[in-house]
């Protein structure tokens, strides 16, 4: 297999995803070289391609190779790495650079491949489950029995949130955008699934939890944020981790007029109002948390243990050959997918 990577030289549509040959890197002290066998695709990768991902500009700039997660085989280890050896199967996280046949990362960014996950499932595990874990366990801290509402409950992060909510002992109400996603959300552990293509979302949400929700998890942006906040219980927490409805569903390029209009319509939360409502609004971007080694280690260790115990399962995986990266981006942007998409070199 020739060594290569996907590079974006400037923002734009799918045509910006170009292949370049790669000189296989040599791991330095404390680093590990992995030959990738599967690479997770996340919606954030598309936002990076469009030039709208702030941390990508801050940490890398142009050109950039996207990709936050991968799984594969250890090819070489740097000085001081004694617990991994060539031939071992691992999954890992990387702050960009994942769309490549070979990735070098620090040892603490790699984890042994769980026996219950194949390599494609493992490649799609870290980003969505770390996002879900941080949202629930670091920010929301729901108590057992709490009512939580999860938007996009059949997607990557959504299905992880549903499962982790169940692990936390919560009652999970999941929202999906089309009927073919209902069974996926239910299989992940949602007690109630609202199909907003067939019923009024907020009327159904009120019926499912008349006193409101202890936690609402929302990556839609302006399309639902206002009502998500209004449907909080007292006390209640709205956790925001994305703004998908502001992005295009086809064409691969942002609509700048729509972006501006959606930005103007995005709710602003006044601290006086929050105090009087007895509510909280929390938000984060996972890419800014990669340096938090303690959180990364604790989260992955706990979740991989839950995987081995059968408490967590990988969401459904759709595979794309690496050469079809543009089609993978087009598909995830469409909003029709369930579970995770992965590239296979």
Domains in the chain, number: 2
Whether 10 and 120 share a structural domain: yes
Evaluate whether residue 70 is within a structural domain.
yes
Whether 224 and 149 share a structural domain: yes
The pLDDT tens digits for 51-81 are 999 999 999 999 999 999 999 999 999 999 9
- Select from 249, 270, 287 the last residue of a domain: 287
Whether 141 and 277 share a structural domain: yes
Q: What is the average per-residue pLDDT within 24-34?
A: 97
Q: 330, 336, 328: which is closest to 120 by C-alpha?
A: 328
Whether 116 and 172 share a structural domain: no
Residue-range definition of the domain harbouring residue 169: 127-287
pTM for the model stands at 0.95
- Select from 244, 269, 287 the last residue of a domain: 287
Whether 193 and 333 share a structural domain: no
Whether 272 and 162 share a structural domain: yes
Evaluate whether residue 202 is within a structural domain.
yes
Evaluate whether residue 218 is within a structural domain.
yes
Centre a 10 Å sphere on the Cβ of residue 277 and count the other Cβ atoms it contains: 16
Evaluate whether residue 44 is within a structural domain.
yes
Mean pLDDT of the chain: 96
CATH code of the domain containing 180 = 3.40.50.720
- Select from 287, 305, 333 the last residue of a domain: 287
Q: Residue 293's Cα: distance from chain center in Å?
A: 18
Evaluate whether residue 293 is within a structural domain.
no
Is residue 299 left, alpha or beta, with left meaning phi > 0 and alpha meaning psi from -120 to 50?
A: alpha
Whether 240 and 136 share a structural domain: yes
DSSP 199-225: S-HHHHHHHH-TT-EEEEEE-S-TTTH
Evaluate whether residue 298 is within a structural domain.
no
**Separation CA 175–CA 159 (nearest Å):** 10
Whether 197 and 135 share a structural domain: yes
The pLDDT tens digits for 196-224 are 999 999 999 999 999 999 999 999 999 99
Crossing angle of helices 325-334 and 43-50, rounded to 10° = 110
Whether 142 and 248 share a structural domain: yes
Evaluate whether residue 308 is within a structural domain.
no
Whether 93 and 210 share a structural domain: no
The whole-number pLDDT of residue 14 equals 97
Residues 87-91: contacts with CB under 8 Å, at least 24 apart: 88/112, 89/113, 89/119, 90/32, 90/34, 91/117, 91/122, 91/123, 91/125, 91/126
Whether 82 and 205 share a structural domain: no
- DSSP state letter for 155: B
The pLDDT tens digits for 241-266 are 999 998 888 889 999 999 999 999 99
Whether 163 and 282 share a structural domain: yes
Evaluate whether residue 230 is within a structural domain.
yes
CATH code of the domain containing 30 = 3.90.180.10
The pLDDT tens digits for 113-131 are 999 999 999 999 999 999 9
């Amino acid at each position: 297999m020739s060594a290569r990577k996907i590079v974006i030289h400037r923002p734009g549509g799918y045509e910006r995803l170009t292949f370049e040959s790669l000189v296989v890197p040599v791991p330095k002290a404390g680093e590990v070289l992995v030959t990738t066998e599967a690479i997770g695709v996340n919606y954030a990768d598309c936002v990076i391609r469009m030039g709208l991902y702030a941390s990508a500009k801050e940490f890398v700039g142009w050109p950039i190779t996207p990709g936050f997660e991968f799984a594969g085989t250890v090819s070489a280890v740097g000085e001081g790495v004694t617990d991994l050896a060539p031939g071992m199967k691992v999954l890992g996280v990387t702050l960009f650079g994942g769309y490549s046949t070979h990735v070098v990362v620090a040892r603490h960014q790699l984890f042994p491949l769980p026996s219950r996950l194949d390599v494609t499932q493992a490649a799609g595990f870290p980003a969505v489950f770390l996002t879900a874990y941080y949202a629930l366990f670091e920010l929301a801290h729901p108590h057992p029995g709490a009512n939580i509402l999860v938007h996009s409950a059949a997607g990557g992060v959504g299905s992880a949130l549903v499962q982790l909510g169940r692990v936390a002992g919560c009652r999970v109400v999941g929202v999906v955008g089309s009927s073919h996603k209902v069974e996926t959300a239910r299989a992940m552990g949602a007690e109630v699934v609202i199909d907003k293509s067939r019923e009024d979302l907020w009327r159904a949400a009120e019926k499912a939890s008349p006193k409101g929700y202890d936690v609402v998890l929302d990556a839609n942006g302006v399309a639902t944020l206002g009502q998500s906040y209004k449907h909080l219980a007292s006390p209640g927490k709205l956790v925001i981790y994305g703004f998908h409805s502001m992005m295009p569903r086809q064409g691969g390029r942002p609509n700048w007029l729509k972006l501006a209009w959606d930005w103007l319509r995005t709710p602003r939360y006044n601290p006086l109002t929050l105090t009087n409502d007895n509510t909280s609004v929390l938000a984060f971007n996972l890419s800014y948390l990669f340096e938090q080694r303690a959180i990364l280690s604790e989260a992955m260790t706990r979740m991989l243990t839950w995987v081995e115990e059968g408490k967590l399962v990988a969401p459904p995986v759709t595979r794309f050959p690496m050469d079809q990266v543009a089609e993978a981006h087009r598909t995830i942007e469409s909003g029709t997918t369930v579970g995770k998409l992965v590239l296979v070199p």
